[in-house]
């Protein structure tokens, strides 16, 4: 008989140690811990990969298992921390016990160090990854709700056991999370605007693109740019007779009207039309001044995002805009603010096609009082910075034309800037009343 098998058996006998009861128990415990590791690892995927249909099932069901799953999902950070901590404790226990078991079964004194490393480190790591991570997570992706219900009670118990550790983990990661969020918000308006410009040509996103553009520019837009100028504001003098007040209200159709004393620069309050409803049949000597409410004043340079917050906090819809000298520049409403985001909001009192008319694709006629923001929207100018050098402090078309001309231009005067031509159609010695605007085609060589 060939002596080679005998030598192999002798070598194997020298490599193996005696298999005691303690070794057997530790081996069984390792298998049990490996099963626990698999269940907990699978739970991580199961709880956080529930689809909308499965979530609806949980919300509509009143079974104890579904209620427990919902309670766990109500605090996702706590749930994730409990799963991670439990899994790490079990994996550490597996490594310690498996090392003890292997050392009791095998005699590594007669084998090379690299083989000892492969068996005790690489081998154990492979087993934990395969049976404790990969296989259970693949299973959990296909049976998420089933595994979530199965593990609801064990996870709830582990949540109570590891509560101090999970609370500490959530607190520490919360500090890091806050710092990361602060860094993540460090994006300039120009960068956001440029990102939106890249998606401008997508046809199905036109409305979304317009609204997002409005949001990006919202915080950079001042009250002066969107307010209604004083010459267009309907107001009432404080000493006006009651019948005349009613006549003015019926003619203008506004729900709130500024009240002034002596001149429009001295606004003393606002008259809410709804406050007059109970007194609609009063005689002309009725003292309607008792119904005047306190006005809310804002400076011209206030940004719209700040104004919107103040409107929300004070629960008001209209503010009086004042200049640096305390004079009244005009009024700004909640509608004016919202229109900068969502676009023009029309109601039954808005008059269409009054302030401008479109003669052809590139020719328009505007009232001089037309605001530049409205002008840019109408003629579809996305990059209105082309007028920054000449507009200075002007907020209307008439102001822009005066700034470009360096004087108050008279009728039929023509001003050309970039690829735009402005022709004054009506003007007097004090102001420009009507302007024809022509968008000249750019010659491409």
Residue from 309, 315, 297 nearest 260 by CA: 297
Question: Which pLDDT value is given to residue 9?
Answer: 44
Question: Which pLDDT value is given to residue 12?
Answer: 46
Residue 396: CB atoms within 10 A of its CB come to 23
| Alpha-carbon gap, residue 320 to 328, rounded angstroms | 7
Joined together, the tokens standing for residue 381 give 């100018």
E strands, 155-285, in order: 228-229, 236-237, 256-261, 263-272
Question: Which pLDDT value is given to residue 17?
Answer: 58
Residues 6+ positions from 26 with CB-CB distance below 8 Å: 97, 100, 101, 104
Q: Which CATH superfamily is domain 223-342 in?
A: CBS-domain (3.10.580.10)
Residue from 435, 257, 169, 224 nearest 340 by CA: 224
Pick the CATH number of 356-439 from 1.10.260.40, 3.10.20.600, 3.30.465.10, 3.40.140.10: 3.30.465.10
Question: Which pLDDT value is given to residue 445?
Answer: 42
Residue from 301, 343, 337 nearest 317 by CA: 337
CA 319 remoteness from chain centre: 27
137 in Cβ contact with 42 (< 8 Å): yes
pTM of the model: 0.44
Place of tokens 């000597």: 285
Question: Which pLDDT value is given to residue 389?
Answer: 76
Run of H or E including 421: strand 420-427
Helix 64-74 to helix 152-161 angle (10° resolution) is: 40
Q: Where are the alpha helices (DSSP H) in 346-396?
A: 372-378, 388-391
Mean pLDDT, 10 residues at a time, over the chain (445 residues)?
48 54 82 90 87 79 84 86 89 85 70 70 82 88 87 89 84 70 52 56 58 66 84 89 88 89 90 87 83 91 86 89 88 84 58 66 86 80 72 81 87 87 87 87 55
| Alpha-carbon gap, residue 429 to 437, rounded angstroms | 21
Per DSSP, 217 falls in state: H
Question: Which pLDDT value is given to residue 267?
Answer: 92
What is the b/e burial string over 29-64, where b = at least 16 CB atoms within 10 angstroms of the residue's CB? bbeebbebbbbbbbbbbbbeebeeebeeebeeeeee
Looking at the DSSP bridge assignments, the partners of residue 356 are 366
Run of H or E including 37: helix 21-48
């Amino acid at each position: 008989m060939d002596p080679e098998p005998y030598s192999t058996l002798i070598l194997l006998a020298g490599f193996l140690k005696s298999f005691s009861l303690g070794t057997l128990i530790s081996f069984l415990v390792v298998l049990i811990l490996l099963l626990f590791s698999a269940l907990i690892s699978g739970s991580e995927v199961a709880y956080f990969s529930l689809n909308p249909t499965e979530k609806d099932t949980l919300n509509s069901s009143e079974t104890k298992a579904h209620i427990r799953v919902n309670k766990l999902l109500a605090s996702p950070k706590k749930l994730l921390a409990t799963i991670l901590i439990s899994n790490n404790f079990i994996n550490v226990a597996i490594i310690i016990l498996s090392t003890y078991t292997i050392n009791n079964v095998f005699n590594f004194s007669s084998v090379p160090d690299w083989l000892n490393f492969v068996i005790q480190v690489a081998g154990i790591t492979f087993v934990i990854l395969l049976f404790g991570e990969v296989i259970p997570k693949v299973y959990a992706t296909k049976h998420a709700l089933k595994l979530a219900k199965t593990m609801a009670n064990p996870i709830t118990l582990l949540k109570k056991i590891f509560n101090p550790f999970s609370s500490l983990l959530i607190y520490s990661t919360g500090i890091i999370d806050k710092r990361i969020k602060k860094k993540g918000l460090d994006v300039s308006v120009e960068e956001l605007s440029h990102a939106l410009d890249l998606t401008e040509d997508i046809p199905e996103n036109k409305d979304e693109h317009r609204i997002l553009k409005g949001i990006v520019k919202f915080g950079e837009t001042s009250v002066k740019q969107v307010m209604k100028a004083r010459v267009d504001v309907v107001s009432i003098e404080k000493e006006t007779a009651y019948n005349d007040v009613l006549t003015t209200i019926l003619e203008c159709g506004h729900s709130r009207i500024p009240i002034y004393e002596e001149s429009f620069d001295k606004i003393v309050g606002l008259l809410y039309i709804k406050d007059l409803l109970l007194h609609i049949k009063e005689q002309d000597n009725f003292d309607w001044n008792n119904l005047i409410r306190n006005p809310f004043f804002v400076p011209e340079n206030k940004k719209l995002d700040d104004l919107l917050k103040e409107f929300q906090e004070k629960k008001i819809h209209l503010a009086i805009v004042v200049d640096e000298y305390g004079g009244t520049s005009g009024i700004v409403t909640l509608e004016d603010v919202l229109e900068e985001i969502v676009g023009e909001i029309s109601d039954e009192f808005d008059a269409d096609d009054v302030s401008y008319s479109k003669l052809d694709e590139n020719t328009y006629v505007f009232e001089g009082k037309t605001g530049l923001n409205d002008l840019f929207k109408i003629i579809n100018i996305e990059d209105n910075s082309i007028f920054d050098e000449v507009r200075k402090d002007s907020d209307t078309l008439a102001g822009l034309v005066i700034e470009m001309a360096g004087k108050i231009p008279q009728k039929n005067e023509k001003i050309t800037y970039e690829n735009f031509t402005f022709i004054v159609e009506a003007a007097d010695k004090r102001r420009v009343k009507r302007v024809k605007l022509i968008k000249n085609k750019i010659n491409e060589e």
